[in-house]
A and B are shown apart, each in its own frame.
Chain A
Amino acid sequence: KAGVTQTPRYLIKTRGQQVTLSCSPISGHRSVSWYQQTPGQGLQFLFEYFSETQRNKGNFPGRFSGRQFSNSRSEMNVSTLELGDSALYLCASRPSVGELFFGEGSRLTVL
């Protein structure tokens, strides 16, 4: 069974630009969560989608948004990038409840 797939794996952007990251969950998983991981803050929850609806939301500014499609694939978007947005963005899926299965992440560098 294929795992969680995230694209792109690495990307470099400049301040003020926007970025879209993509996540394909494990087949059959209807929930997709996004996390930001930085050395100082660890894993911070962005949001979770279940059946195309946002189910939970973390404490991030509105520049961070996401969506989920009918095939459970998800995208997250960050607009007006800031230097502090440099991080590893992790996507995780689960069937509905229970443990999270993570992808390898998209490493974003903002210059």
Chain B
Amino acid sequence: QKEVEQDPGPLSVPEGAIVSLNCTYSNSAFQYFMWYRQYSRKGPELLMYTYSSGNKEDGRFTAQVDKSSKYISLFIRDSQPSDSATYLCAIALYEGGQFYFGTGTSLTVIP
């Protein structure tokens, strides 16, 4: 069993829609949760970084962690064509530890 599972999509939504991206993980010991965005032919860039349950908001992006269900989500409000990319969730046991990445969800926002 992989440490983290992510629905690969692809996901296609109209501009302005609310997008929900989700991952599940296997071990309740994981404490650090991240979301990365990767544009085509680029390296991943960090969107959100959190180590607690609950919500963390940054502009149009909200990361949600439910440790009891071992479920993490990223919500994108008012989605824009520039949000079209692959979104990767990542988890780590401790702050200096190895990151485990989901396989990524490909998102297309249609103008």
Give chain A's interface residues, CB within 8 Å of chain B.
Answer: 4, 31, 33, 35, 41-45, 48, 55-56, 58, 90, 92, 96-105
Q: Given A42-B101, A42-B103, is A97 in contact with B95 using a C-beta cutoff of 8 Å?
A: yes
Q: How close is B76's CB to chain A, nearest CB, in angstroms?
A: 19
Report chain A residues within 8 Å CB of B95.
97-98
Report chain A residues within 8 Å CB of B101.
35, 42-44
Known interface pairs A56-B97, A100-B99; 18 further A-B residue pairs with C-beta atoms within 8 A, sorted by A's residue number: A35-B101, A42-B101, A42-B102, A42-B104, A43-B101, A43-B103, A44-B101, A45-B100, A56-B98, A92-B43, A96-B96, A97-B95, A98-B49, A99-B34, A99-B49, A102-B44, A102-B45, A104-B41
Q: How close is A38's CB to chain B, nearest CB, in angstroms?
A: 10
Pair B96/A97 contact, Cβ less than 8 Å: yes
B46: interface (CB < 8 Å): yes
Report chain B residues within 8 Å CB of A104.
41-43
Bound: A107/B88 CA distance, A: 19
Pair A90/B97 contact, Cβ less than 8 Å: no
Closest to A91 in B: B43
Pair A103/B102 contact, Cβ less than 8 Å: no
Bound: A41/B45 CA distance, A: 19
Q: How close is B22's CB to chain A, nearest CB, in angstroms?
A: 15
Q: Given A99-B34, A99-B49, is A45 in contact with B43 using a C-beta cutoff of 8 Å?
A: no
Pair B88/A43 contact, Cβ less than 8 Å: yes
Option from B41, B43, B96, B104 in Cβ contact (under 8 Å) with A90: B43
Scan B31-69; emit 1 where CB is below 8 A from any A CB, else 0. 000101000011111100100000000000000000000
Bound: A83/B105 CA distance, A: 26
Find the residue from A43, A55, A98, A101 having the highest chain B CB count within 10 A: A43
Bound: A35/B38 CA distance, A: 14
Pair B88/A99 contact, Cβ less than 8 Å: no
Closest to A50 in B: B96
Bound: A68/B106 CA distance, A: 33
30 contacts between A and B (CB under 8 A): A35-B101, A41-B103, A42-B88, A42-B102, A42-B104, A43-B88, A43-B103, A44-B101, A45-B99, A45-B100, A55-B96, A56-B97, A58-B98, A90-B43, A92-B43, A96-B96, A97-B95, A97-B96, A98-B49, A99-B34, A99-B46, A99-B49, A100-B99, A101-B46, A102-B36, A102-B43, A102-B44, A103-B43, A105-B42, A105-B43
